[in-house]
Amino acid sequence: QSALTQPPSASGSPGQSVTISCTGTSSDVGGYNYVSWYQQHPGKAPKLMIYEVSKRPSGVPDRFSGSKSGNTASLTVSGLQAEDEADYYCSSYAGSNNFVFGTGTKVTVL
Amino acid sequence: EVQLVESGGGLVQPGGSLRLSCAASGFTVSSNYMSWVRQAPGKGLEWVSVIYSGGSTYYADSVKGRFTISRHNSKNTLYLQMNSLRAEDTAVYYCARVIAVAGTANYFDYWGQGTLVTVSS
C-alpha cells in the first residue's frame, strides 16, 4: 500500500488560509468517505482534526475544514494562527482491513 | 478521561525481540478497535496493525509474520510483540483507539505519547 501524496510544505501569513491536498487512488481516498486529518507538533503525538472527510471533533476550531473530490481530499485552515504551525497528515481506510497515511505536510505560519 | 500510555521501547539488536505495552484508561480496550502506528525519525506516520473488538487482527505488509498485536482484557492493555527486528523498524510507536463505522475501521481518535524503539548493533 503506497502512502497518500501530500505537498511537503505549505505556508501562509497570520489570518490567511492554507489548503493541503491529499491524493490517493480509487482503492483508498476515492473509494471511502473515511478520510481523516491529524495535526502533529514537534515531539508530540498526532491529534485528530477532521474525520469522515469533513467532520470536526469536539474542541477543534471551525477554522479547520475538510473536503474531497474524487481521489483527492483537502484540508483548509482558515484564519491561520501561530499555533497552527505543525505537520499535518491525512489518512484513509484502504480496504481489506488496511489503513494508509499521507506523506505529511509541514505548515509554516510566516 | 481517555488516556493511553505506551511503554516497553528501548534499544535492541537486529534480529531481536521487544514487547510494547499500551495501558488504557477511561474506556475498555476489548470493546474497541485498537491500533499501532509508527513514525521513523524525521519521517511520516505508518500504520502497523489493528485488533478489532471481536479479536480479528490485521497487519501492514512490512511487519506481517514478525509482529503480533494482542490485548489483555483484565489489564485493559494493548500489546505489540515484535520479533526479528530490523533497522528499518526503528521508530516511535504509538497506540491509538480506532473508531469504527458499520464495522469498518474509520479513524484514530485518541493517541498515546509514543515509545521509541531503536534497532541497532
A-B interface: how many C-beta pairs under 8 angstroms? Answer: 68
**Looking at the partner chain, which of B44, B94, B107 has a beta carbon nearest the beta carbon of A104?**
B44
Query: Which B-chain residues 44-73 have CB contacts (< 8 A) with chain A?
Result: 44-47, 50, 56, 58, 60-61
The CA angle B48-B6-B20, to the nearest 5 degrees, is 60
pLDDT in tens, B27-39: 999 999 999 999 9
Q: Could you say which residues of chain B have pLDDT below 70?
A: none
**Can you tell me which residue has the cell 530490523?**
B86
Q: Which long-range contacts (CB under 8 A, 24 or more apart) does B68-72 make?
A: B69/B34, B69/B36, B71/B29, B71/B30, B71/B34
Q: Is B111 on the interface with A (CB under 8 A)?
A: yes
Residue A1: pLDDT above 80?
A: no
**Looking at the partner chain, which of A45, A57, A101 has a beta carbon nearest the beta carbon of B46?**
A101
Residue A108: pLDDT above 90?
A: yes
Average pLDDT over residues A31-46: 96
pLDDT value, residue B77: 98
pLDDT value, residue B102: 84
pLDDT in tens, A75-101: 999 999 999 999 999 999 998 889 999
pLDDT value, residue B21: 98
Identify any residues that bridge with B58 across adjacent strands, giving them in sequence order: B50
Phi-psi sector, B74: left (phi>0), alpha (psi -120 to 50), beta: alpha
Given a contact cutoff of 8 angstroms between Cβ atoms, the answer to whether B97 and A36 are in contact is no
Q: Do A46 and B94 touch (CB under 8 A)?
A: yes
A61 SS3 class:
coil
pLDDT in tens, A3-14: 999 999 999 999
Q: Do A36 and B107 touch (CB under 8 A)?
A: yes
Q: Is B34 on the interface with A (CB under 8 A)?
A: no
pLDDT value, residue A96: 87
Q: Is B2 on the interface with A (CB under 8 A)?
A: no
In this prediction, residue A64 has a pLDDT band, given cuts at 50, 70 and 90, of very high
How far apart (Å, rounded) are the C-alpha atoms in residues A99 and A26?
14
- In a mutational test of the A interface, the residue from B6, B45, B61, B110 whose CB has the highest number of chain A CBs within 10 Å is B45
Average pLDDT over residues A35-59: 97
